[in-house]
Every structure is written in structure tokens, then in C-alpha cells.
Amino acid sequence: MVNVVWMQGATDNGCLVSFLNAQQPDVYQAIEKLGVEISYQNTINPSSGKDAIETLERFITGKDQLDVLIVEGAIPRGPNGTGMACFIGPRSFAQWVSELAPISEYVLAVGTCAAFGNIPAAEPNPTDATGLQWHKKEFGGFLGKDFRSKAGLPVINISGCPAHPDWVMQTLVAVLLGKKVELDAYNRPNDFFGEDITVHDGCSRNDYFSFKVAAEKFGDKGCLYRNLGCAGPHTNSDCNNRTLWNRQSSLTRCGIPCHGCTNPDFPEAYMPFFQRRREVGDGWKVVPYIIGAGFMKLAKPSRLKNE
């Protein structure tokens, strides 16, 4: 039996909604076959009020052992340092997190809000919100650089707006099996967010990108990068590569530019979302890229066009 507490702070519940779409394993298999016991989760909890609070108190007072704490949502520290922009029963969300995180074997930040602060922490950050162990690209966040869960690990970040259910489930399964999860520079599982994986990988519009056929407006068949602000080549996650969304598709396949939602600096760094982006990404060799692009345009097969 593995106790899981899923706490929601400054969130829209989207990561939970997304998690319920998990299929390998699905939520039922996780409960029945892997022994996951969801001890507290606001939206699916059978009990309300003081019974619900009592479950949490049992962990805090050490009567029950907390195995996995999942945090969804940013942590507001305002207004005026009270943390009361978000509260659950008798405590601010910030206070719940400070009590539950240190007594948990593993702490998972699910979604870009919990990992990096996301929209609630975007300028002007009205509630002084932050991520669990990061504030945007800066290490520290709410729990501080030195925080380690009981298993000796920092907060494991599974970003995304929302996080893909597979990213959460596979990480959870790996942890339950006692496997070491390799983390990237932002403490995210390398498998899903490593620097060698981008949303661009596996995009159905890659031919259009290669031969520089750029969509001029929404609904065009071309690549969304040049004119419509697609952040796919600058965003580390496997949305198009292996997992897809809801086992069906992805934003870029449906004509919607990637907004960069798994990145620590989402959303500010990607706004305005739908405008022409600088042509060259970090680490790209500018001159060869531009020369190459010119040649690729000349090499364009006639089948590639916007209409």
C-alpha cells in the first residue's frame, strides 16, 4: 500500500482532469495492481470537512506514513505574506505544503504551476505565487534550494499545462518500483523533458518546416513556426514524438502553435503567443541555418503548399 496525498493550490484543476485520462496504467489499475491509495484529493475525496482534514492531520502528527505528496498548483504567499489567497479548511495552502513536504518520502510537483509558478506567478504576480522548488528559471522557490524529501531527493518536477498523464504515471510507477529517475537541469524526468527532445520532434508539419513553407494564417497547412509563434523547436517535451495527447493528436497537428507550456519561463517568455518569432533558436548556428533555409526553399517539392 502506497499512500498518496494530492494537494491543490493555485491551480485550475487541469492536471487532475488530465491525470484521470491515464491509460497505462489507468487510475483503476494504479489502485488495484500497484496498491496506490489516494488518501486525500479534493475533487474525488469521499469525505468532506473535518473528516477530510483529519486524514491530513494523521500524516502530520506521524500516525500514518506519507509516501508520495503530489502538489498541483502554485503556492501563493500573499496577500501581505498571509498565504490566504489560497486556503484549505483551517490552513493556508502554503502552510499545508510546509508541513506535508518534509514528512513525505517523495514530493512530485505536477504541472507548470507547482513546478515553476506558471500563470499565477506571471508578472505582476498578484498573489506572490511561486513554484515548489523553482521560481520560473530560478532554483529555490517555496521550499528552498536545500529541501530534500525523506528519500533524499529534491522535488521531482513534471511540468506542462496540463502535465500529460503518462508523464505523471510513468514517474509514479518508476518511483514505486524503486527505480532511479534521471532528472534534467530543472529536476524533470529526462525521459520526457530532456534537452534532446522537443515538441518539434515528430510534428506532422516537419516537412513544411524543413522546406520553409510557413503558414500565413490560422487554418493553413504550413509550419506554424515562422509567422504564428510556434514554440515547438524551443520546448522540451515529447508531445508529438511518442505520447501524443489523449492517444490522438497534439496542438500543432490541429493547427495550434505550441505555446511552450512545459518550459519554466512559460507564459511570459512566449507572449505575444501568435507573433513572428526570431527565426533561430538557442544553440542553432545562425549563418549555416539561414543559408540552408534558402537552399531548402529552392528544393521544396510541389506537394507542399498552404492550401
Partner 1 sequence: MNEVKIMAELDLSPITRIEGHLDFKINVENGVVTDAKAIGALFRGFELILKGRDPLDALVITPRICGVCPTSHNDASARALDNALNASIPENGYLMRSILLGTENLMSHAAHMYVLFGPDLANKKYEGHEAYPELVKRFAPITGTSYKGAVFARIKLDEIFAIFGGKHPHTTFVPGGAPVRPQLNDITRALSIFMQVQDFLENTTLGCSVERWLENKSLKDVVSWLEEDEKHANSDLGLFIRFGTELGFHKLGPGPGNFLSYGVYAQADGKNWLPAGFYDGKHHSLDQSKIEEHIRYSWYTGYEGGRHPSEGVTEPYYEEGEKYTWAKCPRYQGMPVEVGPLARMIIDKDPVVLDLAKEYGPCVYTRVLARLHEAVRLAAKIKEWLLELDPGKPFFGSYDKVSNAEGIGLTEAARGALGHWIKIRNGRIDNYQVITPTAWNVSPKDSNDVHGPIEQAVIGTPVEDENNPIEVQHVIRSYDPCIACTVHVITPKKSYHLKVV
> How far is 48 from 67, CA to CA, in rounded Å?
22
DSSP 91: E
Q: Which residues pair with 106 in a beta bridge?
A: 68
Q: Which of 162, 189, 202, 232 binds partner 1 (CB under 8 A)?
A: 162
Piece of the chain touching partner 1 by CB under 8 A; list 3-11, 181-189, 192-200, 294-302: 3-11
**Whether 225 contacts 96, CB under 8 Å:** no
Distance of CA 2 to the CA centre of its chain: 23
Q: 60, 273, 281, 293: which one contacts partner 1 (CB under 8 A)? A: 273
Angle between helices 49-60 and 93-100 (to 10 degrees): 40
Exactly one of 3, 8, 157, 198 binds partner 1 (CB under 8 A); that residue is 8
Does 161 bind partner 1 (CB under 8 A)? Our answer is yes
**204 lies in the site for partner 1, by CB under 8 A:** no
Binding region for partner 1 (CB under 8 A) out of 12-20, 63-71, 97-105, 284-292: 12-20
User: Dmax over Cα atoms in the chain, in whole Å?
Assistant: 70
Looking at 207, 274, 296, 300, which residue binds partner 1 (CB under 8 A)? 274
Rounded CA separation 57/92 (Å): 14
Closest to partner 1 by CB, 23 or 289: 23
Enumerate residues 29-68 that contact partner 1 by CB under 8 A.
31, 42-50, 52-53
Q: Which residues pair with 189 in a beta bridge?
A: 183
Strand pairing report for 129-130 and 75-76: antiparallel
Q: Residue written as cell 487554418?
A: 219
- Binder to partner 1 among 117, 120, 154, 233 (CB under 8 A)? 120
Q: How far is the CB of 105 from partner 1 (least distance, A)?
A: 23
Alpha carbons 262 and 245: distance in angstroms, whole number? 14
Q: Does 129 bind partner 1 (CB under 8 A)?
A: yes
Q: Which residue shows C-alpha cell 505555446?
A: 259
Question: Which of residues 100 and 154 has its CB atom nearest to partner 1 in the complex?
Answer: 100
Residues 218-231, buried b or exposed e (16+ Cβ, 10 A)?
eebebbbbbbbbbb
Give least dist CB 37 to partner 1, A: 11
132 half-sphere exposure, CB direction, 13 A CA radius: 36
Q: Is 282 in the site for partner 1 (CB under 8 A)?
A: no
Which residue type, as a one-letter code, is found at position 201?
D
Site for partner 1 in 213-272 (CB under 8 A): 217-219, 221, 239, 245-256, 259, 261, 267, 271-272
The residue among 127 and 171 lying less far from partner 1, judged by its C-beta, is 127
Residue closer to partner 1 by CB (options 84, 153) is 84
Q: Which grid cell is 202? A: 515528430
Site for partner 1 in 71-90 (CB under 8 A): 76, 79-80, 82, 84-90
- Nearest approach in angstroms of CB 153 to partner 1 is 27
Among 1, 33, 123, 146, binds partner 1 (CB under 8 A): 123
Span near partner 1 by CB under 8 A; candidates 57-65, 125-133, 176-184, 289-297: 125-133
Nearest to partner 1 of 188, 205 (CB atom): 205
CA-closest candidate to residue 158, choices 143, 174, 146, 144: 174
